[in-house]
Amino acid sequence: MKVFASQKLHKPSCCQSTLCAKMQGLSTTGTLNSSKSTYLGGTRSVCAPRLVASNTPTRHGGSGRSRMPLKIVAARVAGVEIPNAKKLEVSLTYIYGIGPTKSKEIMTNTQIENKRVKDLSEEELTKLRKEVEEGSYLIEGDLRRFNAMNIKRLIDIQCYRGKRHQMSLPVRGQKTKTNARTRKGKKKTVAGKKK
């Protein structure tokens, strides 16, 4: 009779033998066989606890769960979370209305060097927030509102550009026989159009 590697009996280590003793102790006391838990007055059925031997020492005391320390993922400037891992010059461009040129201008005004956002000190962040929010920059909601009001004005006076906006067609004289899909949207096939 052949004996395969999976069928070979191996000698249990000291960790495994203590685990086996614990399991036998549980089964003899009857806690393993109980089908109802004491949680919520015994209305919830639970399975037997599964004990697993591990090489790492377990932490005793407390709830038994170890929590990961909190990690700041992004800094908040002007109501927008700018990425932490990127350099300040690039991170500021995540704010609507601030491009590369404006971000360089903000950095020169605040005297902050171009380093990663996570490396900024708290006072540098407050200085940056103050410059962006209280400076003469048209950003985020104000800029979106400004653009929307300009389009609304063109539609109200019913000029050519306003009508093009209304019909959602290109405004600046581009051809529409082909292309212009960004403005027109997905193709709508019309029957009997081909000659």
DSSP, residue by residue, 77-123:
ETTEEEESSSBHHHHGGGSTT--HHHHHHHHHHHT--S-BGGG--HH
In this prediction, residue 77 carries a pLDDT of 83
Exposed (0-12), middle (13-18) or buried (19+): which is 91, by Cβ within 10 Å?
buried
Per DSSP, 151 falls in state: H
In this prediction, residue 195 carries a pLDDT of 63
3-class state of residue 128 by DSSP:
helix
In this prediction, residue 60 carries a pLDDT of 53
DSSP string, 34-93: --B-SGGGGTSB-PPP-----SSPPPPSTTSPPPPPP---EEEETTEEEESSSBHHHHGG
In this prediction, residue 145 carries a pLDDT of 94
Structure tokens that stand for 164 in this block: 């093009």
Structure tokens that stand for 24 in this block: 């036998």
d(CA 156, CA 173): 20
Share of the chain above pLDDT 70, in %: 61
In this prediction, residue 61 carries a pLDDT of 54
In this prediction, residue 14 carries a pLDDT of 55
* Closest by CA position to 72, among listed 19, 118, 104: 118
Residue numbers of the chain with a pLDDT score lower than 50: 29-57
In this prediction, residue 48 carries a pLDDT of 35
